[in-house]
Amino acid sequence: MSRSPQPHPTRAASWERYLPLGILAILGGMVLIALLAGAILLLPGSRAEKNITVLVNGQSQTAVTRARTVANLLAERGIILFEGDTVSPALTSRLTDNLTVRITKARSVTLTIDGQSQIYRTPLTNPAAILESAGITVSPLDILLVDGTRTDPTQLANWPVPVTRISLRRTMPIQVADDDRTVTIETTSLTVGEALFDAGITLYLADQVTPDLDTPVMPDMTITITRGQPLSIIADGTVVETRVRGLTVADALAESGLALVGQDYTIPAENTPLIPGIRIRVIRVTEDVITEERTQDYETIFQADPALEIDQRQTAQTGQAGLIQTSIRVRYENGVEVSREPIAEIVAQEVRNQVITYGTNIVLRSIDTPDGPRQYWRRIRMYATSYHPAALGGDARTAIGETLRKGIVASNPDIVPYRSEVYVPGYGIGKMADTGPLYRPLFIDLGYDDDNFVSWSRWVDVYLLTPVPDSIPYLLPQAS
């Protein structure tokens, strides 16, 4: 006979016995979680503002952010990463105060391999590094063009500027039967003529080449050269080896189809008799007349104007640079400049100095201060900061022996004389008793004692109170 399962009295009693303890444990856990959450919120960098420097391709940006991670910061500033871009530290890294985030944007580089082009995105700028990153190897015999310039592959690591185009043409083998000698050469040339030239095989005009020089190069093709008798002519940047039947240099040029034009000449001269192995150089002469321009800078002259109020300026005359044009005859031999001869010079535009007038008329005006109306003779826009003895390591003595406190100010004594009084709205009346940084002439430092220090950092109007000093700098630096 089967028995129905019965409740386990011992287990139920145990559960009821520990129920109050479980509730207490749960409540304690909740309190602990709340405390931990509060502690996390108080941790540095959790949601507090952080000063972050962002460098994008070396260009610096400053950000004040509450973002938690690098990825959050980039999204907040609208910085999008594309294929090939790199960021350091990683996107998942947490931001900390004064962290520098460096982003290198990838560039598009065109890779052309044996005529097939593709766009390769990479943050790299050096051609050797780019080719290695793309898995492309270069043979010393291959033709490598970097930004259109043929380049020795061994010099790639020292390439001085970022590249945008890399072209590679690989070598192919061909046979050259030169009279009774046959050689195999590796070439990257497009035509037979280019292949022979690149291989250093000299051709004379009387030589016969099969197939023709314009024939496209094919792998394993055979080029046959039937030689004539040599004669060297260097003309138009090339060396022509030919055979001639004439007696003079002029005859050799005529049979080679080379003509002298204008002031062209030869070395040796045209009437020189030919001898075996002679080398003839053709010097092409051209002349050109160019115009060179140079400017004459104008000067800025300041003139006092007693009718104009102090610190006011007017442009009495605008400046104009002068322009001089020179005509020059330039002589070129084989495309190289050999001489210059000035033939004329004119003044295309006369120089005119700029004249600025500045006011020297002092007008006394009144301003209300917490101590009552006061007269002032000048108002200067200055950048105000503040200081106190503790910021100076406890030094409370000023440049003229006063004690640093509220009512003492520091500035440039060439602009605000020592012991003169100034009025700064929001600060009050101050006595010029200390020296500010002379490299910042439009600057005033407002003094305080340690117990009542107030931080200043803004542009303010500074009123120079009467009496008017004997020596006045009428020309003040312009505010930057």
Read off the pLDDT of residues 117-135 as tens digits, 9 standing for 90 and up. 989 888 888 888 888 888 8
In this structure, the answer to whether residues 377 and 460 fall within a common structural domain is: yes
Final residue belonging to a domain, choices 150, 169, 188: 169
In this structure, the answer to whether residues 68 and 113 fall within a common structural domain is: no
Rounded distance between C-alpha atoms, residue 141 and residue 325, angstroms: 50
Q: Measuring CA to CA, how many Å separate 445 from each of 99, 216, 369, 456, 462?
A: 31, 81, 19, 9, 11
In this structure, the answer to whether residues 68 and 162 fall within a common structural domain is: no
**Cross-strand partners of 285:** 333
Final residue belonging to a domain, choices 58, 80, 104: 104
Domain that holds residue 82: 50-104
Final residue belonging to a domain, choices 67, 87, 104: 104
161 in a domain, yes or no? yes
122 in a domain, yes or no? yes
In this structure, the answer to whether residues 100 and 117 fall within a common structural domain is: no
Rounded distance between C-alpha atoms, residue 98 and residue 96, angstroms: 6
CATH number of the domain where residue 327 is located: 2.20.230.10
In this structure, the answer to whether residues 368 and 388 fall within a common structural domain is: yes
33 in a domain, yes or no? no
**Cβ-Cβ contacts under 8 Å for 18 (sequence gap 6 or more):** none
In this structure, the answer to whether residues 458 and 367 fall within a common structural domain is: yes
155 in a domain, yes or no? yes
* 279-283: strand order across its sheet: 238-241, 232-235, 279-283, 265-267
In this structure, the answer to whether residues 335 and 308 fall within a common structural domain is: yes
379 in a domain, yes or no? yes
Helix (H/G/I), strand (E/B), else coil: 391: helix
Q: Own/partner pairs for 470-475, CB < 8 Å, 24+ apart? A: 471/417, 472/310, 472/360, 472/362, 473/414, 473/415, 474/304, 474/310, 474/358, 474/359, 474/360, 475/302, 475/358
pLDDT, position 342? 95
In this structure, the answer to whether residues 341 and 394 fall within a common structural domain is: no
pLDDT, position 282? 96
In this structure, the answer to whether residues 67 and 135 fall within a common structural domain is: no
In this structure, the answer to whether residues 352 and 384 fall within a common structural domain is: no
Q: Structural domain tally of the chain? A: 4
Rounded distance between C-alpha atoms, residue 101 and residue 89, angstroms: 6
In this structure, the answer to whether residues 87 and 127 fall within a common structural domain is: no
The model scores a pTM over 0.75: no
pLDDT, position 36? 36
In this structure, the answer to whether residues 97 and 67 fall within a common structural domain is: yes
pLDDT, position 8? 37
pLDDT, position 204? 66
Helix (H/G/I), strand (E/B), else coil: 75: helix
pLDDT along the chain (480 residues), means of 10: 38 34 38 36 60 89 91 90 86 92 87 85 86 84 84 82 86 84 86 88 76 89 76 90 86 90 94 90 95 94 96 95 95 94 94 96 96 96 96 94 96 96 98 90 95 96 97 86
CATH number of the domain where residue 112 is located: 3.10.20
325 in a domain, yes or no? yes
CATH number of the domain where residue 367 is located: 2.40.40
Q: Measuring CA to CA, how many Å separate 10 from each of 14, 53, 55, 57?
A: 6, 67, 70, 73
306 in a domain, yes or no? yes
Q: How does pLDDT run across 431-475, given as a tens digit for each residue?
A: 999 998 888 889 999 999 999 999 999 999 999 999 999 999 999
211 in a domain, yes or no? no
Cis upstream peptide for 211 (omega within 30°): yes
Q: What share of residues in the chain are helix, strand, coil (percent, to 5)?
A: 15, 45, 40
User: Residue 10 half-sphere exposure, CB side, CA atoms within 13 Å?
Assistant: 0
Helix (H/G/I), strand (E/B), else coil: 21: helix
